[in-house]
Amino acid sequence: MSIAYNKIAVRVRLGALRRNFEILRRMAPAAMPVIKSDAYGHGLLPVARTLEAAGADAFAAGTVGECAQLRDGGIPGRIVALLGATDAADAECCVARSIVPAVYSADQLELLAGRAAPGQQVDIALKFDTGMARLGFTEADLPALLDRLHARPMLRPVLVMSHLAVSDDPSRSDFTRQQGEAFGRILAGVRAEWPAVHGSLANSAALLAHPELHFDVQRPGIALYGANPLRGTAQEHLGDGLQPAMDVAAPILQVHPLPAGRSISYGRTFTAPRDMTVAIVATGYADAYSRGLSGKGAMTVHGRRVPILGRVCMQMTAVDVTDVPGVTAGDDAYLLGGPGEALTPDELADLWGTISYEVLCLLGMNPRTHRE
C-alpha cells in the first residue's frame, strides 16, 4: 500500500527485523510473528518472507484477505486471521487456503462448518475475552461453545487465544495475572476435549515481561519492529537490543534565511527570535505526517536534530537548520531513523502524542523499499 503523490522514501531494514526476531525467539521459541496491517507498515510479504527464512513457521495477520496474500505469496505453515471470517467469501477463502480464522461468535461456527467439504477438517482459533472486552467468547460461554463444536465435528480447534489489556504496565500486573488465570481455566476446559490445542496469550510486552504467561505460542508484534513496549516503565531494560527497522526520509525543497521578526507558515504561530536558516521539507499531513507535530516535532538533517518551525502543511514542513552547516536543496531530511541523532519510533510517537504502533502504520503507507 503506498501513497502515490509524494517524494517520501520509507526504507525497511530486513536485517533489523531478523535480529529482533532472533532476540525474541531466545526468550520464546514458539513466537508467532504478528504481521497485521501490512506488518505494522513494514510490508506484509517482505516481512513474512524474511521471518519465514529465519525460522518462523506460523504467522498472525488481520483480515482473511491479508492472510490470502500471504498464502498466495508462497508462505507455508499456519496463518491465523485475527479479525476472523466476517462473511461467506472469507469463510470460503479460509477453507480453500488453509487459513485459520479467529472465531468469536456462534454465527462464525455456522459459516465455516457450512463451507467444509465432506470429510474435510477446518482448523479454527477460538478467541476468548478475558478482560479486553473487544472480541471473543467469555468464560461463561464455554460449555455452550463446546456443545456447538461437538455438533460440528468438521471444525477442529487448534488454537485458543486471548489478548492482554495492560501487559505493558508492570504497575498493573494484577489485572494481567487475573487475565492469565482466566485464560488458564479456559484453555484447560478446551483441552479436556481437544488435548492437542495450543494456548496463546502473550503479546510483545508479555513475551518480554511475563514468561509465566507464555503458554504454547506467543504473539509478538511491536517488538519485532524494534519498539520497546515497556519503555518508560521499571522493566524497560527487558527490551534492550531491539532495533527499529524503518527509516523515513523526504527531500529538502529549499533552504532560505528567516530574518529576526519574520513569521513562518500558516497562522504565523512561530516568529524568528533571531536571524535563522530554515529548510522546507517535502512532507506534510497528506503523507500521514501528523499536523499535530506543528511547532513541537523534530526531524534530523545531516545527522542532527532540527526542530519543526510553525505549522505542518499538507505537503511541506519547515525545520530550523540554523546550526547545521551546508544544508542544501535535495538533501534528505529524516522524519524517522536515519544517521546520527535518529528519532526512534517511540520518540516520534511522544512528540506526535501517540504510540509507536500508529507512527509505524501511518508512515509505512508511503512509498517503501526493502534492503538487508
Ligand X SMILES: *Cc1c(COP(=O)(O)O)cnc(C)c1O
Contact between 222 and ligand X per CB under 6 A:
yes
Can 36 be counted among the known catalytic residues?
yes
Contact between 250 and ligand X per CB under 6 A:
no
Euclidean distance between CA atoms 38 and 44, whole angstroms:
4
What cell was used for 201? 496469550
- Of the pair 204, 366, the CB lying nearest ligand X is at 204
What cell was used for 44? 506484509
Q: Which stretch binds ligand X (CB under 6 A): 19-27, 214-222, 282-290, 324-332?
A: 214-222
Per-residue mark of binding to ligand X, 290-319 (x: CB under 6 A): ------------------------------
Residue 34 per-residue DSSP state: B
- The percent helix, strand, coil of the chain (3-state, each to 5) is 35, 25, 40
List the one residue from 33, 101, 157, 221 that touches ligand X (CB under 6 A): 221
List the one residue from 219, 302, 305, 368 that touches ligand X (CB under 6 A): 219
Alpha helices in 36-85 (DSSP H): 36-41, 44-53, 64-72
Contact between 244 and ligand X per CB under 6 A:
no
Can 266 be counted among the known catalytic residues?
yes
Q: Are 216 and 198 in contact (CB under 8 A)?
A: yes
Q: Kindly tell me the burial class for residue 142, based on how many C-beta atoms sit within 10 Å of its own C-beta (0-12, 13-18, 19 or more).
A: middle
- Of the pair 145, 206, the CB lying nearest ligand X is at 206
Residue 51 per-residue DSSP state: H
List the one residue from 14, 28, 79, 82 that touches ligand X (CB under 6 A): 82
Per-residue mark of binding to ligand X, 139-168 (x: CB under 6 A): ------------------------x-----
* Cβ 66 to ligand X shortest distance, Å: 12
Per-residue mark of binding to ligand X, 1-40 (x: CB under 6 A): ---------------------------------x-x----
Q: Under rule CB under 6 A, how many of the chain's residues touch ligand X?
A: 12
Euclidean distance between CA atoms 235 and 145, whole angstroms:
38
Euclidean distance between CA atoms 32 and 43, whole angstroms:
17
Q: Are 83 and 103 in contact (CB under 8 A)?
A: no
Query: Catalytic one among 40, 266, 289, 296?
Result: 266
Q: Are strands 317-320 and 276-281 parallel, antiparallel or unpaired?
A: antiparallel
Q: Contact positions toward ligand X, by CB under 6 A?
A: 34, 36, 82, 163, 203-204, 219-223, 229
Annotated catalytic sites, by residue? 36, 266
